[in-house]
Chains A and B, each alone.
Chain A
Amino acid sequence: MLPNHPSEMLTTRFVLPMLAAIGLLAASNSFAANAKLETIISPAQAATADRPTIKSTADHSKFKLLDRDFKTGPEVTKACLTCHTEAAKQVQHTKHWTWESTDPKTGKVRGKKNIINNYCTSPVSNENDCMACHAGYGWKDEKFDFKAEQNVDCLICHDQTGTYRKLPGFAGHPVYKRVEFPHGSGKFVEAVDLKKVAQSIGMPTRSNCGSCHFFGAGGNGAKHGDLDSSLKHPGKYLDVHMDEKGLDFSCTTCHVTSHHEVSGSRYDAAAAVKGPAHIRGKKDETPASCQSCHSNKPHHEAMLNQHTEKLACQTCHIPEYARNQIGTESSWDWSLATTMGLDGKPMAYKDSAGRRSFDSKKGKWEWDSYVIPEYRWYNGYSDYKVIGDKIDPSQTVHINEVGGSANDPDSRIWPVKVHRGKQPYDKVNNYLTVQHTAGEDHTALWHNYDWQKAIAAGMKAAKLPYSGEFGFVDTAMTWPITHMVAPKHDAVDCAQCHSKNGRLQGIEGVYMPSRDSNRWIDMIGWTLVVLSLFGVLMHGALRLYSSKMKGQHK
C-alpha cells in the first residue's frame, strides 16, 4: 500500500517502526535500554507524529476562495480582504505603504518619497521602477490612489513559495506574462502562479523582508551593509540570533509587529534604551532594541555594564558589517554617469568580486566587505534633507545628520556606515536635483544619457523650478548599523578602542583610559621620574668614585 496522505505517510514511515522498536527494546528487559528509550521517544513526542506542520490555524490551500486562477495582484488582495477585513486599512497607515515619515521634532515630512537618498536619489518620476519595492500595486505617478484597498500588496510579505517577485518597470506589479528581463538581455522571467502563491500564505520570513531590504539601491547588500541575502540562511558567525542552526530568528522576532505596524525604524530610532529587559504584560515601546530582551546591564562584570551608559550594544557586538563576500557599497559617484566607452557606446563592468563597478547609466561605485564602522554620537534622531532643501555646494552635503552628543543623556556612541558619493544639483537654486532616470522615454537618463533632459523631467515631476544649470556636489549619508550581531567571542575587544588611534579616535566628550591623557601631567610626571633616576645615578656614581679614591689613598 502506498501512503497518499501526509499524515498516513508519517504513520507508515515513523510511528510504526518506532512502535516496533519500543516492542523490541521492552523485550530486551534491560533497565539501561529502557532508560535510554525514554529519552529517545517520550509519550509527548509520539503524540506529535500527526500534528499539522503549519503553525497557523488556517491552511490557505484549503480555502475555496483562493482556489482559482487570479489574473492580477489586486484580485488576490480582494480575496484576502474578504476575511482579513482590516488588513489593508492597517497597511495603509504604515511607512511600507505611504513611504512617508513625519519628523517628531519639526513636523517635516520625510520618508522615501520625500528625501533624496545617496543611492538611486529619488523615486519621483521613476515610480515605475522604484515601486517594485512598494507594498502595493500601480504606483506609477502622483495620481496613485493611496485609499484603494485592492492596491495593497499582501503577497510580497506573506508569500511562502519564494516565487513571487516584483521587477523594476511594472509599478509594483509582479510579472503576469513571461517577459524578457532585463530588456534585451535574452533572459526571461516566468509569469507568477498567483494561485499557488495565494495558497501558500504565511507569516513573513527573512526572505520576505529581504526581497526588498536585502537589495536596496538595486544591488545585493548595496545599501545597508548590515542587510544582504546572506541573512536568508545565516550561520552563527554572521548573526548570532538569526543563526539558522541555532536561534533562527526571523526579522519579526525583534521587529515585533502589531496591526501591520512594524516596530523599529531608522527615522526615529531608540538609540539609548535603559532599564531592565521587558516582560510580558508590560507595554513594550522598543521591542526591536537589544535591551528589550537583554536589559541595559547584560554583562556579569559591572565595568562592562558601565559601558552601556555611553555605548550602544552594537558598537562592541557588531565588530564589522558586510561580513561576507557580498559586501556593501561605500560610494556612488553619479558624476561619471553618461561617460561612454571608447566605441562611444554605453558600457558597464564589475569589480574583481563580481559587484557592479561602473555603468554608463549610473556612474561609478566602490564596494567593501568586512567593513569596520565609523562611530558617531547618536540619539535616535536624524535630520534629513528633503527635496527642495537648500544646500551649500562648497561643502559635503549630508543627506541626513545623526543627532546627539556626549552631553545628551539619550545619546550613545553608535557604529555607522557612511556612504559617500557625488550627486547632481541645481547650481543657481542650490538644491539637489530630482532626475528622471528609469524608463524607456526620451527624457530618461538610462535611455538617452542626457543629464539636462533627465533633470528637467525629474524637476518637473517634483514641481520644483530648475535653472538649467547643474553641477555635481559631494554627498554623504549616515546609516546606523544594527544587524549582523556577532557571537560574543567575536565582539570588539577593549584595546581596539582603549588605545591611541583606536576605533573611537574621533569621538569627543568622553575620557577613555589609554586613549586619553593630560599632556601636562604626563610631561611633569615623566620629568619627575627622569630627574629621580638621574639623581640616584649621580649619587651612586659619586659614592663609587669616592670609595675608589679612598682605596687609592690606603
Chain B
Amino acid sequence: MSSVNRVYLYNRYERFWHWSQALLVISMLITGFEVHGSFTLFGFEQAVNLHTLSAWSLLTLWAFTIFWQFTTGEWKQYIPTLKKVDAMVRYYVFGIFNHAPNPFQKTAEKKHNPLQRLAYLALLSMISPIIWGSGLLYLFYSSWASLGLDSYLSLGVVAVIHTAGAFMMLAFFIAHVYLTTTGHTPTAHIKTMITGWEETD
C-alpha cells in the first residue's frame, strides 16, 4: 500500500459555497425547466417562486464569494492557461483507460487542472452572462417600460436566450458531476469537497 499524503485543499467557506451553490443550481434547473413547460412538479406558480428565490439566493452567495475570492487571492485559481492542456486532453481520452498517472496533481496553490480552468472560463465568460443577463431581464420584465427597454426587447427572445443558457448549464452540470468520479477512487473528489482534505498517492 502506497503512502498517503493529505493536503487541505478547500477551507470551510469554500465548501459551504460549493455545496450551497450546487443546491441552488440544481433547484434552478428543476424549477426553470418546469417554468419552461418541460414537466410539472411544483406547479407553475411555485416553480416561478422557487426559481426567483433561488436566483436571489445565488446572487447573494456570489456577492460574498466574490468578496472572499479577492480578499483571499483565490481568484488566481481561475486564471486560464494553455500549458499542459494537451496532456490533460490526452489523459482523459487515452491515459485514464490505461491507468496512466494523472498529469496534474492538485495543490493548495493550484486546485484546478488546465482543462478545468478553461471550462470555468467558458462558464464564467459565456454561460453565466447568457443566463444571468437574460434571467435578470426576464425577472424585471415589469420594469422594461420604465427603463425604456420595451421597444428593443421581446419576452420571447429573452426567454429563448435564457433557455439556451439553461441547456448549456445542464450539459456543464452533467460533465462536472461525472468528472468528480475520476479521482483515484470514484468518490475521492467528492470526499475532498466534503472534508476539505485531498488524499494523494
Q: Mark A residues whose CB is within 8 Å of B.
A: 302-303, 305-306, 309, 493-495, 498-500, 510-511, 513-518, 521-522, 524-526, 528-529, 532-533, 535-536, 539-540, 542-543, 546-547, 550
Q: Closest CB of chain A to B33's CB: distance in Å?
A: 10
Which residue of B is nearest A537, CB measured? Answer: B178
Q: Which residues from chain A contact B175 at a C-beta distance below 8 Å?
A: 532, 535-536
Q: Is the CB of A529 within 8 A of B171?
A: yes
B20 interface hit (Cβ, 8 Å): no
Give the docked Cα–Cα distance between A53 and B63 (Å). 66
Q: Which residues from chain B contact A305 at a C-beta distance below 8 Å?
A: 142
B83 interface hit (Cβ, 8 Å): no
Q: Is the CB of A513 within 8 A of B37?
A: yes
- Please, could you name 9 A-B residue pairs with CB atoms under 8 Å apart, sorted by A? A303-B48, A306-B141, A515-B37, A516-B37, A516-B159, A521-B167, A536-B178, A542-B97, A543-B96
B44 interface hit (Cβ, 8 Å): yes
Q: Is the CB of A511 within 8 A of B159?
A: yes
Interface size classification for chain B:
35 or more
Give the docked Cα–Cα distance between A46 and B44 (Å). 55
Q: Closest CB of chain B to A408's CB: distance in Å?
A: 15
Q: Is the CB of A303 within 8 A of B142?
A: yes
Contacts A302-B143, A495-B43, A532-B174 supplied; 17 other A-B pairs, CB < 8 Å: A306-B142, A494-B44, A495-B44, A495-B45, A498-B35, A499-B44, A511-B155, A513-B44, A514-B37, A517-B36, A521-B160, A524-B167, A526-B167, A532-B170, A532-B175, A536-B178, A546-B98
Which of the listed residues A499, A526, A532 has the most CB atoms from chain B within 10 Å of its own CB? A532
Q: Which residues from chain B contact A306 at a C-beta distance below 8 Å?
A: 141-142
Binding site secondary structure of chain B: helix
B81 interface hit (Cβ, 8 Å): no
Q: Which of B45, B98, B141, B159 contacts A494 (CB 8 A)?
A: B45
Beta-carbon contacts under 8 Å, B110-154 to A: 141-143, 145, 154
Q: Is the CB of A522 within 8 A of B163?
A: yes
Q: Which of B45, B143, B163, B178 contacts A518 (CB 8 A)?
A: B163
Q: Is the CB of A529 within 8 A of B97?
A: no
Give the docked Cα–Cα distance between A493 and B37 (Å). 16
Give the docked Cα–Cα distance between A508 and B159 (Å). 17
Q: Is the CB of B36 within 8 A of A514?
A: yes
Which residue of B is nearest A307, CB measured? Answer: B142
Q: Is the CB of A514 within 8 A of B35?
A: yes
Q: Which residues from chain B contact A529 at a C-beta distance below 8 Å?
A: 167, 170-171, 174
Give the docked Cα–Cα distance between A525 and B167 (Å). 5
Give the docked Cα–Cα distance between A546 and B174 (Å). 22
B164 interface hit (Cβ, 8 Å): yes
Q: Closest CB of chain A to B112's CB: distance in Å?
A: 19
Q: Which of A495, A498, A539, A550 contacts B178 (CB 8 A)?
A: A539
Q: Is the CB of B98 within 8 A of A528?
A: no
Q: Is the CB of A513 within 8 A of B178?
A: no
Q: Which residues from chain A contact B35 at a C-beta distance below 8 Å?
A: 498, 513-514
Q: Is the CB of B37 within 8 A of A500?
A: yes
Q: Closest CB of chain B to A511's CB: distance in Å?
A: 4
Q: Which residues from chain A contact B48 at a C-beta distance below 8 Å?
A: 303, 494, 513
- Interface pairs A-B: 7 shortest CB-CB: A525-B167, A511-B156, A306-B142, A536-B178, A514-B37, A495-B44, A546-B97
Which residue of B is nearest A500, CB measured? Answer: B37
Give the docked Cα–Cα distance between A547 and B96 (Å). 10
B181 interface hit (Cβ, 8 Å): yes
